[in-house]
Amino acid sequence: QVQLVESGGGSVQSGGSLRLSCAAYGYTVSNYCMGWFRQAPGKEREGVAVIDSAGSTSYVDSVKGRFTISQDNAKNTLYLQMNSLKPEDTGMYYCAADVYGYCRGSWSSRRDYFGYWGQGTQVTVSS
């Protein structure tokens, strides 16, 4: 049974940093496409960053240059380093896993391809 457990969320001021972690159980993170998504109150869940089995990464335009997705294969854990945080980054952040090694879809449809989701971790950025 696949289980994804996020941690690392919290409250920070604008310009601050956080690192989110996603520990995977029953699933090998290095073999598949994995991603981070977020959902603000009243808004749809949106993709933030993905990493495929080759280690290639992709980011939504709003976080490019500020967020970094990575993984530790020995710990079977996915990370999201978030720097220069802005109030508009506030939301629930979810780790997600696909069953393919490459990341499918575009940023407008990507969430439809991920079959496994964590419970989420809250990030709040104050101005």
What would the mean pLDDT of 103-122 be, rounded to a whole number?
93
CA dihedral 59, 90, 29, 116 (to 10 degrees): -110
Query: Rounded to 10 degrees, what is the CA torsion of 123, 83, 100, 115?
Result: 10
Query: What share of the chain in percent tops pLDDT 90?
Result: 94
74-99 in b/e form (b: 16+ CB < 10 A) is: eebbbbbebeebeeebbbbbbbbbbe
Enter the DSSP assignment of 113: G
Q: What is the mean pLDDT of the chain?
A: 96
Identify whether the C-beta of residue 18 lies closer than 8 Å to the C-beta of residue 10: yes
63: phi then psi, degrees, rounded to nearest 5: -120, 0
- Given a cut of 90, whether residue 62 has pLDDT beyond it is yes
The answer to whether 91 and 46 are in contact (CB under 8 A) is no
The CA distances from residue 111 to 34, 51, 96, 116, in Å, are: 11, 14, 8, 10
- Tens of pLDDT, residues 10-51: 999 999 999 999 999 999 999 999 999 999 999 999 999 999
Q: What is the pLDDT of residues 45-61, one digit of tens each?
A: 999 999 999 999 999 99
> For position 108, what pLDDT does the model report?
84
